[in-house]
Amino acid sequence: MATPRSVRDLGRDFDRYYNPFETPSQSTTDLTALLPRHSSMDSSRHGGEASGQMSRRNSNPFADESNPSNHLAITPATAAVTIPGDAALDEKHIDVPFFPYLDDRLGAPGTEDQGYTFPLYWHEKEWDDDMHLPMVDDDVKLKPTLRERFSRKNVLDTLGLAFMIIGLLCVFIMLPVLSWSGINIIGYNDTPLDQMWGYGDNEPTWATVNATRKYPLLKNTRRGLIDPDTPKTERSRVGVNGDKLNLVFSDEFNDINRTFYAGDDPYWYAPDFWYGATRDLEWYDPDAVTTWDGALHLQLDAFGNHGLQFRSGMLNSWNQLCFKGGMMEVSVSLPGPAGVHALWPGVWSLGNLGKPGYLATTEGTWPYTYNECDAGITPNQSDSSGMNKLPGQKLASCVCPGQDHPTPGKGRGAPEIDVIEVSADYSGLGLGVATQSYQIAPFDTWWYPNVDFMEIPDYSLSSLNTWTGGPFQQAVSTTTMLNNGWYDGKAYQRYAFEYVPGNTSDSFIAWTVAGEEMMKFDARAIGPNGNVGQRIISEEVCFCRSTLES
Q: What is the pLDDT of residues 76-94, one digit of tens each?
A: 444 444 444 444 444 444 4
Task: Please tell me which residue, 261 or 61, carries the higher pLDDT value.
Answer: 261
Residue 138 has a pLDDT of 80
The residue-averaged pLDDT of 327-336 equals 96
Top mean pLDDT of 54-63, 101-110, 156-165, 211-220 is at 156-165
Do the Cβ atoms of 271 and 286 come closer than 8 Å?
yes
Domain final position from 153, 185, 201: 153
Establish if 297 belongs to a structural domain: no
Q: Which amino acid is at 529?
A: N
Given a cut of 80, whether residue 159 has pLDDT beyond it is yes
Give residue 23's domain range: 1-153
Task: Note whether residue 195 is domain-resident.
Answer: no
Q: Is 298 inside a domain boundary?
A: no
Same domain, 14 and 119: yes
Does one domain contain both 144 and 239?
no
The whole-number pLDDT of residue 102 equals 53
pLDDT at 291 over 70: yes
Mean pLDDT across 217-223: 70
- Which of 138, 153, 168 delimits the end of a domain? 153
Question: Confidence class of residue 220 from pLDDT cuts 50, 70 and 90?
Answer: low
pLDDT of 399-431, one tens digit each? Answer: 888 888 999 999 999 999 999 999 999 888 899
Whole-number Å distance between alpha carbons of 231 and 87:
128
Query: What is the pLDDT confidence band of residue 215, given thresholds at 50, 70 and 90?
Result: confident
Domain-embedded: residue 281 = no
Q: Tell whether the model's pLDDT for residue 35 goes beyond 50.
A: no
Residues 239, 122, single domain; the answer is no
Is 30 part of a structural domain of the chain? yes
Give residue-wise pLDDT tens across range 345-357.
Answer: 999 999 999 999 9
Domain check: are 241 and 98 in the same one? no
- Shared domain for 395 and 541, answered yes or no, is yes
Q: What is the CATH number of the domain that holds 353?
A: 2.60.120
Closest CA to 492 of 298, 253, 297, 332: 332
Is position 381 within any domain? yes
Instruction: Report how far Cα 415 is from the mean position of its chain's Cα atoms.
Output: 29
Average pLDDT, the chain: 82
- Residues 121 and 241 reside in one and the same domain: no
Together in a domain, 446 and 347: yes
Residue 485 amino acid letter: G
Decide if 449 is inside a domain: yes
User: What does the pLDDT read at residue 40?
Assistant: 40
Assign 35 to helix, strand or coil: coil
For residue 333, the tally of other CB atoms under 10 A from its CB is 15
For residues 184 and 350, the model is more confident at 350
Q: Are residues 374 and 507 both part of a single domain?
A: yes
Q: What is the mean pLDDT of residues 214-240?
A: 86
Q: Please give the tally of structural domains in the chain.
A: 2
pLDDT at 158: 96
Average pLDDT for 222-238: 92
Helix locations, 329-432, DSSP H = 359-362
Q: 50 versus 549: which is more confidently predicted?
A: 549
Per-residue model confidence (pLDDT) at position 208? 67
Task: Please check whether residues 375 and 520 belong to one and the same domain.
Answer: yes
Query: Other CB atoms closer than 10 Å to residue 339's CB: what's the count?
Result: 18
Residue 125's alpha-carbon distances to 16, 118, 121, 122, 129, in angstroms, are 19, 19, 12, 9, 7
Last residue of a domain, which of 153, 176, 207?
153
% the chain with pLDDT above 90: 60
Stretch 271-294: mean pLDDT = 95
Same domain, 21 and 115: yes
List all residues 6 or more positions away from 408 whose beta carbon is below 8 Å from its beta carbon.
Answer: 399
Collapsed DSSP state (helix, strand, coil) of residue 130 = helix
pLDDT band at residue 108 under the 50/70/90 scheme: low
Query: Torsion angle, CA of 389/391/396/400, rounded to 10 degrees?
Result: 140
How do residues 424-470 score in pLDDT, each as one tens digit? 998 888 999 999 999 999 999 999 999 999 999 999 999 999 999 99
For the segment 235-260, the average pLDDT, to the nearest whole number, is: 96
Question: How do residues 129-155 score in pLDDT, each as one tens digit?
Answer: 777 777 788 888 888 899 999 999 999
Mean pLDDT value of segment 309-335: 96
Whether 163 is in a domain gets the answer no
Residue 410 and residue 533 in one domain: yes
Note whether 108 and 240 are same-domain residues. Answer: no
Q: Contact, 63 vs 78, CB < 8 A?
A: no
Q: What pLDDT shows up at residue 23? A: 47
CA-CA distance, 113 to 97, in Å (whole number)? 9
Q: Do 311 and 288 touch, CB atoms closer than 8 A?
A: yes
